[in-house]
Structure 1
Amino acid sequence: MTPTIRDIEDADVPAVIALWHEAGVARPWNDPATDIAFARRGPHGTVLVAESEGRIVGTAMAGEDGHRGWLYYVAVDPAHQGGGLGRLMVEAGEAWLAGRGVWKVQLLVRRENEAVLGFYDHLGYRDTNAVCLQKVIARG
């Protein structure tokens, strides 16, 4: 059965958080509920979900900053991995961004997650040879 890909709804949040933990994309320093709420607070971001037989089986958070688009939390239920759902989630995120006039999409891959690099390479993503720096200026 082909999953339905749609914007997240309030009732989906617990299942999305559980999926992020199960798929290994959640990290202790990022509160998933806060990240979801932040993505949904305005027109510049969303969380897309794939629903199959009443269950959330995939996600992709998409956002744009006025210059380029970003994908985060691309996750697929481990029982559904390897069947093309990850590609569908990335394509759904790209389509969401393209619909807002974004022509460049970026994403971050943690160094320890080398296994996923081949997946993104197959989808046309390339290493930008840039260093990502961050600073937390406020939390709350």
Structure 2
Amino acid sequence: MTFAIQRLAPEDYDEAYALWERTPGMHLHSLNNTYGGISSIIENNPFTCFKAIDEGGHLIATALGATDGRKGYLYHVAVDESHRGQGIGSALIKRVLDTLKARGITTIGLFVAKNYPPAKEFWLKQHFKERHDVEYLDIDL
């Protein structure tokens, strides 16, 4: 299967959101995943947000990279179920990590849903390490 990696644009939101809705463990309602929220990530990180498309130009995967200038983060890494196991997710992750590294970022973090163990297994296979020294807290404003 052939695929191409391209920059993700705000105009891709509807197709990307549909992918995220069908991807287990995404927790779309726990953060600002509106068009405005996702557009803000893309606009503030235009060189680190990517999509994969198939031969027909359909969006089949996403990986959003972001940075605060000190540390990088991965968000919304998802591959359409019918295209998994072909290295698409790994290729997107590599693109994000390489781009962040070229910008001087040397540590990348991500959030994994506790109620979906296959996600954690995937990230451990990608050489991410579990941290036991921090807990995540947040507040809705």
Mapped partners of 1:58, 1:19: distance in 2: 8
Contact map agreement 1:39 1:45 (CA 8 A) in 2: no
Which is worse superposed, 32-41 or 79-88? Answer: 32-41
| Paired residues, number | 138
Residue matched to 1:75: 78
Give unmatched runs, 5+ long, in structure 1. none
Equivalent residue for 1:37, pick from 24, 39, 43: 39
Normalized against structure 1, the TM-score is what? 0.86
Q: CA deviation at 1:45?
A: 7.0
Question: 65-74 or 37-46, which moves further after superposition?
Answer: 37-46
Relative CO higher for 1 or 2, CA cutoff 8 Å, sep ≥ 6?
A: 2
Counterpart contact for 1:45–1:63, Cα < 8 Å = no
Which of 124, 136, 139 is equivalent to 1:136?
139
- Structure 1's consecutive aligned runs of 4 or more residues displaced over 4 angstroms after TM superposition are 43-46
Counterpart pick for 2:112 among 109, 112, 122: 109
1:85 paired residue number: 88
1:77 deviation in Å? 0.4
Unmatched runs of 5 consecutive residues or more in structure 2: none
Task: Note the C-alpha offset of 1:11.
Answer: 3.0
1:7 aligns with 2:10: no
Percent identical among aligned pairs is: 25
TM-score of the pair, normalised by structure 2: 0.85
Other structure's SS at 2:44 match? coil
Which digits, 9 at most, give the CA deviation of each residue in 1:10-49, with x for residues without a partner? Answer: 4322111111111232422334223311202324774210
Letter of the aligned partner of 1:27 in structure 2?
L
| Paired residue type of 1:107 | L
